[in-house]
């Protein structure tokens, strides 16, 4: 280690990793802007859910549609991607003990993204971009809106390039031995998908921008939809990869989850890179521009190879937790490892709730709604936001929140503020979202449209008398939404208080629980002394297929049955419709 490296870095007292100050600064800046975006998005969310709850119907039409655009951009693009930039910097530098590549250029790119963000915010709040998040032409926004998105995407693309450059530095300077950790491998996956995504963003927004300033002719609306979703959906696949990487990270930090088999987990990540981008076709299943063959090949992620990858992670993550717990001596029964798990550690509860809601609700509904024909009874109904709030919000956002509870002491070196609230925050957030998602999904099954100001159709020429049950579902959605926003605001309050006014952490005491420090730091998960012996016993051939992780096998069996039931129920519902073909 050179003298200059020692002067510009510190060693983490908890993990022993070398943390470079310039990387730390970039991680912090991105995380702070991510939280500010989350705040804007959460306030919009509250107003939107109180409008869609037909009994409340708060906002006027103009502001409903305007804030819907604001909510989409801040949550799905700004919050998520800023946080992912922080994750990329964290994975490449902290996890690999490496210095960041060209940190000043990193600040320049961060500035570019920030300028783009401010341009988009201005266009949306001032009513110059009432085209919603998707901005489908021929609807036209102010050129500043498109230019803002382009700047943001270019900045993010260049940060991704710096991430790859940092990997090269780490390899050259031999800051780690062997292959990169699985968490970094997941982050690399996310970064590769980010490149695919952001290039599509440029492909779609540059012609649209030129059209908006009158330089070129109209953009074909169908081509736009195809390219836009290669940005819009693929950006959510960056989330999936980043989220799974964080699952592995939180598993390791909170309970000492082990990697069962590197080959299996890494192959699953490669399947994401190869096939998950095709998921953007799910938005085009009932579009006029594409043939059934095109739709089937793409919607199936080329025969569901990306779904296979998620199902693999859906096994290896809980199984890794189970084996990690068993190796620490929690070996009783099928689910003793779950009973003895640190449920009061917000990092752990975020991890588990994220896995469960993402898999059971988001995954199952996503694959089902994304089936070519079943999409007929789902497209543009509330079933769609019902699906993606369980993936992106209760899955990805919650995983990011769980990671934040560890990043606060480790990177910001502050205790987690409002600690008792932090311990319940994941439950409140996830529980609220579950209600929201259920309400939306069932309302959508009755044909309630998404992105619609008034389903009482009071100003429409013909009445549309929805089943009275819809009022109940929308009330459930409303209450769930209020709870979820409360959970998000608690998270924001914790993050802001901790970062700006929090109690500094100089050293992390071991052994006894400390208020404001997650249990995984004060009581690091240490495997039993006879770990190899237990491991040997757990993998004994006599234990059969159940092997070392019988509890997880039961859980995934329940998952598969739920999946089959939901999937075939939807085919049955479809078969009752008119004949269409």
In contact, 494 and 421? CB cutoff 8 Å? yes
Give yes or no for residue 556 binding other proteins (CB under 8 A): yes
How many angstroms from the chain centroid is the CA of residue 344?
22
Q: Is there a cis peptide before residue 138, judged by omega within 30 degrees of 0?
A: yes
Task: List the one residue from 13, 25, 336, 447 that touches other proteins (CB under 8 A).
Answer: 447
Between residues 379 and 389, which has the closer beta carbon with respect to other proteins? 379
Between residues 37 and 254, which has the closer beta carbon with respect to other proteins? 254
**Least distance from C-beta 363 to other proteins, angstroms?**
12
Task: List the one residue from 35, 46, 87, 180 that touches other proteins (CB under 8 A).
Answer: 180
Q: Taking contact as CB under 8 A, which single stretch among the options 200-208, 340-348, 399-407, 530-538 is the one that binds other proteins? A: 530-538
Task: List the one residue from 4, 7, 104, 178 that touches other proteins (CB under 8 A).
Answer: 178
Reading the block at residue 273, the tokens are 């890179």
Between residues 27 and 245, which has the closer beta carbon with respect to other proteins? 245
Residue 9's SS3 state is strand
Which residues in 13-102 belong to E strands, given as ranges?
A: 18-20
DSSP string over 326-346: HHTT--STTTHHHHTS-TT-H
- Tell me the C-alpha to C-alpha distance, in Å, between residue 189 and each of 52, 97, 250, 567: 37, 20, 18, 29
Binding characters for other proteins, 284-323, by CB under 8 A (x = yes): xxxxxxxxx--xx--xx--xxx-xx--xx--xx--xx---
Q: What is the largest CA-CA distance in the chain?
A: 77
What is d(CA 308, CA 318) in angstroms, rounded to the nearest whole number?
A: 16
Between residues 31 and 180, which has the closer beta carbon with respect to other proteins? 180
Q: Taking contact as CB under 8 A, which single stretch among the options 189-197, 330-338, 506-514, 529-537 is the one that binds other proteins? A: 529-537
Q: Taking contact as CB under 8 A, which single stretch among the options 70-78, 160-168, 232-240, 532-540 is the one that binds other proteins? A: 532-540
User: Containing H/E element for 428?
Assistant: helix 419-445
Place of tokens 């102010």: 142
In contact, 299 and 366? CB cutoff 8 Å? no
Q: Taking contact as CB under 8 A, which single stretch among the options 35-43, 132-140, 231-239, 421-429 is the one that binds other proteins? A: 132-140
Give yes or no for residue 577 binding other proteins (CB under 8 A): yes
CA dihedral 70, 74, 75, 76 (to 10 degrees): 90
**Least distance from C-beta 524 to other proteins, angstroms?**
11
Between residues 8 and 15, which has the closer beta carbon with respect to other proteins? 15
In contact, 90 and 27? CB cutoff 8 Å? yes
Q: Which of residues 333-372 bind other proteins (CB under 8 A)?
A: 367, 371-372
**Least distance from C-beta 70 to other proteins, angstroms?**
14
Give yes or no for residue 65 binding other proteins (CB under 8 A): yes
φ/ψ of 449, rounded to 5, equals -75, 150
**Least distance from C-beta 112 to other proteins, angstroms?**
30
Residue 563's SS3 state is helix
Q: Which of residues 9-48 bind other proteins (CB under 8 A)?
A: 15
**Number of shown-chain residues binding other proteins (CB under 8 A):** 127
Give yes or no for residue 449 binding other proteins (CB under 8 A): yes
Binding characters for other proteins, 379-418, by CB under 8 A (x = yes): xxx-------------------------------------
Buried b (16+ CB within 10 A) or exposed e, 112-132: bbbebbebbbebbeeeebbbb
Residue 378, CB-side half-sphere exposure with 13 Å CA sphere: 28
């Amino acid at each position: 280690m050179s003298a200059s490296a020692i002067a510009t870095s510190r060693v983490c007292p908890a993990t022993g990793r070398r943390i470079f100050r310039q990387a730390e600064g970039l991680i912090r800046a991105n995380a702070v802007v991510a939280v500010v975006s989350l705040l804007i998005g959460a306030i919009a969310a509250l107003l939107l859910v109180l409008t869609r709850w037909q009994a409340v119907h708060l906002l006027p039409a103009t502001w409903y549609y305007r804030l819907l655009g604001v909510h989409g951009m801040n949550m799905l693009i700004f919050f998520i991607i800023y946080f992912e930039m922080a994750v990329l910097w964290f994975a490449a530098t902290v996890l690999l003990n490496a210095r960041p590549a060209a940190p000043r250029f990193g600040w320049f790119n961060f500035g570019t993204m920030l300028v783009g963000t401010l341009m988009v915010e201005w266009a949306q709040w001032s009513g110059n971009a009432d085209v919603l998040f998707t901005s489908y032409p021929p609807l036209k926004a102010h050129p500043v809106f498109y230019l803002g998105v382009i700047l943001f995407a270019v900045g993010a693309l260049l940060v991704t390039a710096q991430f790859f450059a940092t990997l090269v530095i780490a390899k050259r300077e031999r800051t780690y031995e062997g292959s990169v950790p699985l968490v970094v491998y997941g982050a690399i996956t996310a970064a590769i998908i980010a490149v695919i995504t952001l290039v599509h963003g440029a492909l779609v927004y540059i012609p649209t921008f030129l059209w908006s300033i009158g330089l070129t002719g109209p953009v074909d609306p169908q081509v736009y939809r195809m390219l836009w979703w290669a940005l819009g959906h693929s950006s959510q696949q960056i989330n999936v990869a980043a989220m799974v990487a964080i699952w592995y990270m939180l598993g390791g930090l909170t309970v000492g989850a082990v990697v069962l088999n590197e080959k299996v987990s890494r192959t699953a990540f490669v399947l994401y890179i190869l096939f998950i981008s095709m998921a953007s076709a799910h938005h085009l299943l009932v579009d006029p521009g594409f043939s059934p063959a095109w739709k089937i090949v793409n919607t199936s992620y080329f025969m569901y190879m990306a779904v296979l990858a998620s199902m693999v992670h859906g096994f290896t993550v809980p199984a890794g937790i189970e084996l990690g717990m068993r190796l620490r001596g929690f070996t009783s029964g099928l689910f003793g490892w779950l009973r003895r798990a640190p449920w009061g550690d917000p990092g752990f509860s975020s991890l588990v709730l994220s896995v469960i809601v993402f898999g059971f609700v988001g995954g199952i509904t996503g694959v089902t709604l994304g089936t070519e024909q079943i999409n007929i009874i789902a497209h543009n109904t509330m079933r769609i936001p019902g699906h993606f709030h369980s993936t992106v919000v209760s899955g990805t956002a919650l995983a990011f929140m769980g990671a934040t509870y560890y990043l606060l002491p480790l990177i910001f070196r502050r205790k987690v503020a409002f600690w008792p609230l932090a311990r319940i925050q994941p439950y409140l957030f996830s529980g609220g979202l579950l209600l929201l998602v259920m309400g939306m999904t069932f309302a959508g099954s009755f044909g309630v449209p998404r992105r619609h100001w008034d389903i009482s159709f009071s100003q429409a020429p013909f009445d549309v008398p929805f089943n009275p049950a819809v009022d109940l579902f929308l009330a459930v959605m409303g209450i769930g939404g209020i709870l979820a926003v409360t959970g998000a605001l608690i998270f924001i309050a914790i993050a802001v208080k901790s970062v700006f006014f929090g109690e500094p952490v100089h050293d992390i005491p071991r052994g006894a629980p400390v208020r404001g420090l997650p249990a995984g730091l004060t009581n690091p998960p240490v495997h039993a002394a006879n770990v190899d012996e237990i491991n040997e016993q757990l993998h004994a051939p006599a234990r059969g297929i159940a092997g070392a992780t019988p509890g997880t096998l039961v859980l995934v069996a329940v998952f598969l049955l739920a999946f089959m039931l939901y999937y075939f129920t939807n085919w049955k519902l479809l078969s009752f419709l008119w004949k269409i073909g």
